[in-house]
Chains A and B, each alone.
Chain A
Amino acid sequence: MHTKTREIFRGILSFLLVGGAGLLVSCSKRESPVERGIREQVLHRGLSADPAELDPHIITGLPEINVVSTLFEGLVAEDPVDLHPVPGTAESWEVAPDGLTYTFHLRASARWSNGQPVTAQDFSNSIRRVLTHSLGADYATMLYVLVNAEAYHKGALKDFASVGVQTPDARTVRFTLNHPAPYFLSLLTHPAWFPVYLPALEKSGTPFERGSRWTQPGSLVGNGPFVLTAWKRGEVIVVEKSPTYWDAAAVRLNAIHFHPATDVESEERAFRAGQLHITEALPVGKVDTYRREQSGALQIGAFLDTYFYRLNTTRPGLSNVKVRQALAAAIDRTAIVEKITRGGQQSAHSFTPPGVGDYVPPEALHGNFDEARRLLAAAGYPGGQGLPPLEIMINSSGNHRAIAEAIQEMWRRELGAVVRINNMEQATLLANRRTLDYQIMRAEWSADYLDPKTFLDVFRSDSNNNHTGWTNPNYDTLLFEADRTADPAARQLLMQRAETILLTELPIIPIYYYTSVRLVHPSVHGWHPTLLDRHPYKDVWLEP
Chain B
Amino acid sequence: MLRYTVRRLLQIIPVLFVIITATFFMVRFVPGGPFTAEKAIPPEILKNLEAHYGLDQPLWRQYLNYLRSIAHGDLGPSFKYSNRTVNEIIGDKLPVSLELGALSLVVALVVGLTLGVLAAVRRNSWLDYLASSIGMLGICVPTFVLGPLLVLYFAIHLGWVNASGWYTWQDRVLPVLTLGFVYAAYVMRLTRGGMLEVLNQDYIRTARAKGASETRIVLKHALRGGLLPVVSFLGPAIAGILTGSFVIETIFQIPGLGREFVNSAFNRDYTLVLGTVILYASLIVVLNLAADIAQVWLNPKLKFE
Is B296 in the interface zone, CB < 8 Å from A? no
Judged by a CB distance under 8 angstroms, whether B74 is at the interface is no
Q: Which one of B36, B114, B215, B259 lies within 8 Å of A430 (CB-CB)?
A: B36
Binding-face segment, A264-272, A361-369, A532-540: A264-272
A425 to B122, CA, bound (A): 51
B271 to chain A: closest CB distance in Å?
13
A273 at the interface (CB under 8 A from B): yes
B contact residues around A209 at 8 Å (CB): 52
Q: Is the CB of B31 within 8 A of A428?
A: yes
Cα distance A232–B166 in the bound complex, in angstroms: 11
Report which of A29, A137, A259, A434 forms a contact with B253, defined as CB distance below 8 A: A259
* B39 neighbours in A (Cβ, 8 Å): 60, 138, 445, 465
Q: Is B204 interfacial (CB-CB < 8 Å)?
A: no
Q: Is the CB of B259 within 8 A of A136?
A: no
Q: Chain A CB within 10 Å — which of B45, B167, B259 has the most?
A: B45
A380 located at the interface, meaning its Cβ lies under 8 Å from any Cβ of chain B in the complex: no
Known: A53-B83, A263-B251. A9 touches B44 (CB 8 A): no
Contact indicator A465/B173 (Cβ below 8 Å): no
Please tell me if the beta carbons of A133 and B48 are within 8 angstroms of each other in the complex: yes
Chain A residues, CB < 8 A from B197: none
Among B62-70, B150-158, B226-234, B281-289, the stretch in contact with A = B150-158
Contact with B along A121-156 (1 / 0, CB 8 A): 000000000000111111011000000000001100
Contacts of A249 in B (CB 8 A): none
Indicate with 1 or 0, residue by residue over A149-173, a CB within 8 angstroms of chain B CB atoms: 0000110000000000000000000
Given A1-B214, A269-B156, A430-B37, CB of A138 within 8 Å of CB of B52: no
Q: Do residues A270 and B250 form an inter-chain contact, with CB atoms below 8 A?
A: no
Complex formed: what's the CA distance from A141 to B161 in Å? 47
Q: Is A370 an interface residue (CB 8 A)?
A: no
Q: Does A444 contact B (CB under 8 A)?
A: yes
Given the interface pairs A5-B122, A261-B253, the reply to whether A270 lies near B164 with Cβ below 8 Å is: yes
Contact pattern, B 16-36, Cβ under 8 Å of A = 1, otherwise 0: 000000000000001111001
Residues in B whose Cβ lies below 8 Å from that of A426: 32, 266
B37 pairs with A60, CB closer than 8 A: yes
Distance from A204 Cβ to chain B, minimum over Cβ atoms (Å): 9
The yes or no answer to B239 lying at the interface (CB within 8 A) is no
Q: In this complex, what residue of B is CB-closest to A395?
A: B38
Known contacts A4-B213, A52-B82, A266-B164: A425-B266 contact under CB 8 Å: yes
| Interface pair A431/B253, CB less than 8 Å apart | no
Q: By the criterion CB–CB under 8 Å, are B156 and A427 in contact? A: no
Interface size classification for chain B: 35 or more
A469 interface residue per 8 A CB criterion:
no
Chain B stretch 159-180: residues in CB contact (< 8 A) with chain A: 159-167, 170, 173
In the complex formed, the residue of B with least CB distance to A465 is: B40
Known: A234-B255, A262-B250, A273-B151. A4 touches B214 (CB 8 A): yes
A28 touches B253 (CB 8 A): no
How far, in Å, is B246 (CB) from chain A's closest CB? 11
Among B40, B77, B259: residue with most chain A CB under 10 A = B40
Tell me, rounded to whole Å, the shortest Cβ–Cβ distance linking B220 to chain A: 13
Contacts of A7 in B (CB 8 A): 215
Question: Given A8-B118, A428-B31, are A28 and B160 neighbors across the interface (CB < 8 Å)?
Answer: yes
| Beta-carbon nearest neighbor of B251 in chain A | A266
Q: Considering the chains assembled together, what is the distance between the CA atoms of A89 and B293 in angstroms?
A: 67
Within 8 Å of chain B (Cβ to Cβ): is A32?
Answer: yes
Residues of A within 8 A of B38 (CB): 430, 443-444
- Cα–Cα distance between A270 and B39 once the two chains are bound (Å): 31
Name the distance in Å between B78's Cβ and chain A's nearest Cβ. Answer: 8
A432 closest partner in B (C-beta) = B31
Q: C-beta contact mask, B210-248 vs A, less than 8 Å → 1, else 0?
A: 000111001000000000000000000000000000000
Pick the interface stretch among A211-219, A488-496, A498-506. Answer: A211-219
Q: Is the CB of B170 within 8 A of A27?
A: yes
- Given the complex, which residues of A lie within 8 Å of B164, measured CB to CB? 261, 266-267, 269-270, 273, 275
How far is B45's CA from A60's CA once the two chains are assembled, in angstroms?
13
Q: Are B268 and A265 in contact (CB under 8 A)?
A: no
Residues from chain A with Cβ under 8 Å of B52 in the complex: 134, 136, 209-211
Q: Is the CB of B163 within 8 A of A270?
A: yes
Interface residues of B in 276-303 (CB under 8 A from A): none
Chain A: interface residue total (CB-CB under 8 A): 71
Interface string of A214-245 (1 = CB under 8 A from B): 01000000000000000011111000000000
- CB-based contact B32/A431 at 8 Å: yes
Do B31 and A5 have beta carbons less than 8 Å apart?
no
The reply to whether the CB of A17 lies closer than 8 angstroms to some CB of chain B is no
In the complex, the answer to whether B31 meets A431 with C-beta atoms within 8 Å is yes
Q: Confirm or deny: A81 has a beta carbon within 8 angstroms of a beta carbon on chain B.
A: no
How far, in whole Å, are A175 and B253 apart by their CA atoms in the complex? 45
Judge whether B183 is part of the interface by a CB distance below 8 angstroms.
no
Please judge, given known A-B contacts A140-B45, A428-B31, whether A12 and B159 are in contact too, CB under 8 Å. Answer: no
Asked if A427 and B213 sit within 8 Å, CB to CB, the answer is no
Beta-carbon contacts of B70-83 to A below 8 Å, as 1s and 0s?
00000001001111
Of the candidates A60, A430, A464, the one whose C-beta lies within 8 Å of that of B32 is A430
Contact of A187 with B by CB under 8 A: no
CB of B146 within 8 Å of the partner chain = no
Which has the most chain B C-beta neighbours within 10 Å: A1, A234, A275, A426?
A: A234
Measured CA separation A53–B79 after assembly (Å): 11
> Given the complex of chains A and B, what is the CA–CA distance between A136 and B166 in angstroms?
34
Q: What is the bound-complex CA distance between A464 and B173, given in angstroms?
A: 49
B77: chain A residues within 8 A (beta carbon) = 211
Report Cα–Cα, A141/B43, bound state, in Å: 11
Cβ-defined contact, A464 with B159, below 8 A: no
A274 within 8 A of B: yes
Q: A234 contacts which chain B residues (CB < 8 A)? A: 93, 253, 255-256, 259-260
Residues of the A chain whose Cβ atoms lie less than 8 Å from the Cβ of B267: 427
- B148 proximal to A (CB < 8 A): yes
**Cα distance A211–B271 when bound, in Å?**
15
Query: With A266-B250, A464-B42 as given contacts, are A29 and B160 in contact (CB-CB < 8 Å)?
Result: yes
Q: Give the chain A neighbours of B251 by CB distance below 8 A.
A: 263, 265-266
**Contact in complex: B170, A464 (CB < 8 Å):** no
Measured in the bound complex, the distance between the Cα atoms of B40 and A431 in whole Å is 10
- Complex CA–CA separation, A478 to B167 (angstroms): 56
Pair B159/A138 contact, Cβ less than 8 Å: no
A23 interface residue (CB < 8 Å to B) = yes
> How far is A209 from B83 in the complex, measured between Cα atoms in Å?
11
The 9 nearest A-B residue pairs measured at CB? A427-B32, A234-B255, A431-B31, A273-B163, A27-B160, A431-B32, A136-B49, A269-B163, A4-B214
4 more contacts with CB within 8 A, not counting A5-B121, A210-B83, A266-B251, are: A4-B213, A137-B45, A213-B83, A430-B40
30 A-B contacts (beta carbon < 8 Å): A4-B213, A5-B214, A7-B215, A23-B173, A27-B160, A27-B161, A29-B160, A52-B80, A53-B83, A134-B52, A136-B52, A140-B45, A141-B42, A141-B45, A233-B92, A234-B253, A270-B163, A273-B163, A275-B164, A426-B266, A427-B268, A428-B31, A428-B32, A430-B37, A431-B31, A432-B31, A434-B40, A444-B38, A465-B39, A467-B40
Q: What residues make up the interface of B, taking CB atoms closer than 8 Å to A?
A: 30-33, 36-45, 48-49, 52, 77, 80-84, 89, 92-93, 114, 118, 121-122, 127, 148, 151-152, 155-156, 158-167, 170, 173, 213-215, 218, 250-253, 255-256, 259-260, 266-268
